[in-house]
């Protein structure tokens, strides 16, 4: 339909650790790569600094592919309402505020990690970690 072959490395519930492992199965070249990663790490209790370190490692691994890279910030399904986090995740008021603080810190860090020539925008997709790459070879990681 799009006239392009895609390699979809997204997996619901994946983390930046998983994405680093999945990149071993990526093609040797790509035209476009999109990265939306870190939300599941954040929900799992990882601190923004650790997540940003892994995102930097991911950036280093995809650079040799020669692709245009689109980096997305982590989607906030609560749309800034801490009560949603309290209700949907069963968090205390203080825990919801702390998660919001970490989400904001992570998204600020993602914006700083993205090269000035890359596109960095909020995403309206899921919080799943993943990368989509044009297919240059047959086969699958899974």
Q: Are strands 119-122 and 32-36 parallel, antiparallel or unpaired?
A: unpaired
Query: Residues 97-125: pLDDT tens digits?
Result: 999 999 999 999 998 886 543 444 443 22
Write the CATH number for 122.
3.40.50.1110
DSSP 44: T
**In this structure, are residues 36 and 74 in contact, taking their beta carbons and an 8 Å threshold?**
yes
Instruction: Evaluate whether residue 61 is within a structural domain.
Output: yes
The residue segments making up the domain with residue 69 are 6-134
Helix (H) or strand (E) holding 41: helix 39-43
Instruction: Evaluate whether residue 140 is within a structural domain.
Output: no
What does the pLDDT read at residue 2?
Answer: 66
Instruction: Evaluate whether residue 142 is within a structural domain.
Output: no
Q: How many domains does the chain have?
A: 1
Instruction: Evaluate whether residue 101 is within a structural domain.
Output: yes
* Percent of the chain's residues with pLDDT above 90: 38
Instruction: Evaluate whether residue 67 is within a structural domain.
Output: yes
């Amino acid at each position: 339909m799009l006239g392009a072959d895609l390699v979809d490395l997204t997996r619901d519930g994946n983390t930046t650790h998983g994405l680093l492992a999945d990149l071993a199965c990526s093609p040797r070249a790509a035209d476009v790569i999109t990265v939306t990663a870190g939300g599941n790490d954040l929900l799992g209790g990882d601190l923004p600094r650790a997540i940003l370190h892994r995102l930097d490692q991911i950036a280093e691994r995809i650079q040799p592919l020669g692709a245009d890279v689109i980096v997305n910030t982590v989607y906030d399904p609560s749309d800034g309402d801490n009560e949603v986090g309290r209700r949907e995740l069963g968090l205390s008021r203080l825990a919801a505020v702390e998660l919001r603080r970490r989400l904001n810190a992570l998204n600020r860090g993602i914006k700083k990690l993205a090269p000035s020539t890359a596109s960095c925008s909020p995403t309206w997709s899921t919080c799943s970690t993943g990368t989509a790459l044009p297919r240059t070879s047959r086969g699958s990681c899974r």
